Structures are given as C-alpha cells and as structure tokens.
C-alpha cells in the first residue's frame, strides 16, 4: 500500500525549496576551499585550485592530520562532499581486508547536514548512478548513531549484502561517484525545485 508522504504545508514546501536552491546556487568557485583560501586565491579570482591533486589535501580535511590524515582511497569522496557547503563530512574509512584477504570493513563517509532534503537527494543520486551503470555496486545513505550528539549523522556506503564485492571494485566506485556526484545532485535538485514550484502555484 502506497501512503502519500509529500509535504502539504506551504511553509514546509518553501523551506524544502530554499534548501535545494542553496545547493544549486553554490558554484564550483564558491565551494568550500580545503586549503582555507591560500594566497593563490587572490591571483585566480577567488579560486585557488587546491583540489583533489593538492598534496596536503588528506591532512587538511582531517581533524587530526598528524595521526589520522584521510585515507587515500576514500579521499575523493570526502573531498566531493566537502565541496558542498551544505554537507560536512565528519568520519571516513577507505575499507579494509582481513588477514585472509576478505572484505572486513566497508568504505564509508559519515556526514552531517542542516537539511534532511540532502540525504534524500544523495540517495536519489546514488540510485540514478547505479541505474546508469556508473557504479558497479549499489550504494546507500544510512542513518548512524554518533555518541550523544543530537544532530543527525548519515553514512554514504556500499550495500553489498552477501555478494563477493572486491575492495578494488568499491574503490573504483568511489572514484566514479566522486567525479559525478556534484553534477548529479544539482540536476536532481533543479528537477525537485521545478516540482515544488508547481505545487506552490497550485496551493
């Protein structure tokens, strides 16, 4: 049985639209700069170019760079999420094998965000990229418990179940996902904004 769950309150619809519009209006140049806007920014119109190939990126994105720089194979996804001002990565793991070479820990990035529209949008983007065969495995957004914090924390992670997923294949997914994520999110957000605009007109 399908139960309708779309918001009907005009204030809620307008709030959802603002959240999505915020995501759409953040250009690549306005994205959060991992270096904290170094001196090169002034020479490049505010965009310093310290991106995924920046040698200090793994340390800069970590809250404890000396002991725990971001692991190399999950770094692209942490960076892709950190480029979105609405989303804040807070923990990551590139995935690990056990002593017998079997998949022991899945790759994952935990994040917080100020609007529940974003995890939903991320889940929709993951589904679309899987349907287009951009990703070899299905990925999901899951709610995770994070100590006593009241702020919702979510994880982006593969959903492999009992399959024989290889860590190399999951790392390839991370590369593909990281390259496509921002554009896919903006396409989906624009489509949802159009739908919300139609509902506001009909209200």
Q: Which residues pair with 144 in a beta bridge?
A: 153
pLDDT at 123: 96
- What is the maximum span of the chain, computed from C-alpha positions, in angstroms? 60
Question: Which domains are present in the chain?
Answer: 64-182 (3.30.1960.10)
By DSSP bridging, strand 108-113 and strand 103-105 are unpaired
CA 148 to the chain's CA centroid: 23
**Residue 33 — pLDDT band, cuts 50, 70, 90?**
low
pLDDT digits (tens, 9 = 90+) for 113-167: 888 889 999 999 999 999 999 999 999 999 997 666 677 899 999 998 756 689 9
Q: Is the pLDDT of residue 47 over 60?
A: no
Beta bridge partners of 89: 111
Please give the residue that has the higher pLDDT: either 155 or 41.
155
Predicted pLDDT at 151: 79
More confident residue, 199 or 156: 156
Q: What number is the average pLDDT over the span 46-57?
A: 68
Q: Band the pLDDT of 29: cuts 50, 70, 90.
A: very low
What is the reported pLDDT for 55? 74
42 pLDDT more than 50: no
Query: Is 28 buried (19+), middle (13-18) or exposed (0-12) by CB count in 10 A?
Result: exposed
């Amino acid at each position: 049985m399908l139960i309708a769950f779309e918001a009907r309150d005009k204030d809620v619809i307008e709030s959802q639209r603002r959240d999505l519009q915020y995501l759409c209006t953040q250009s690549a140049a306005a994205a959060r700069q991992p270096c904290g806007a170094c001196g090169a920014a002034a020479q490049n119109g505010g965009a310093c170019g310290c991106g995924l190939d920046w040698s200090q990126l793994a340390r800069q994105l970590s809250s404890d760079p000396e002991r725990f720089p971001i692991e190399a194979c999950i770094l692209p996804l942490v960076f892709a999420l950190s480029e979105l001002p609405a989303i804040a990565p807070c923990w990551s793991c590139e995935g690990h094998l056990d002593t017998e070479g079997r998949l022991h820990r899945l790759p994952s990035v935990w994040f917080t965000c100020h609007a529940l529209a974003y995890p939903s949008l991320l889940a929709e983007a993951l589904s679309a990229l899987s349907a287009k065969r951009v990703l070899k495995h299905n990925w999901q957004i899951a709610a995770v418990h994070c100590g006593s914090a009241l702020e919702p924390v979510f994880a982006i992670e593969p959903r492999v179940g009992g399959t024989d997923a290889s860590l190399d294949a999951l790392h390839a997914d991370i590369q593909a996902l990281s390259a496509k994520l921002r554009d896919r999110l903006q396409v989906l957000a624009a489509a949802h904004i159009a739908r919300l605009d139609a509902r506001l007109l009909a209200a």
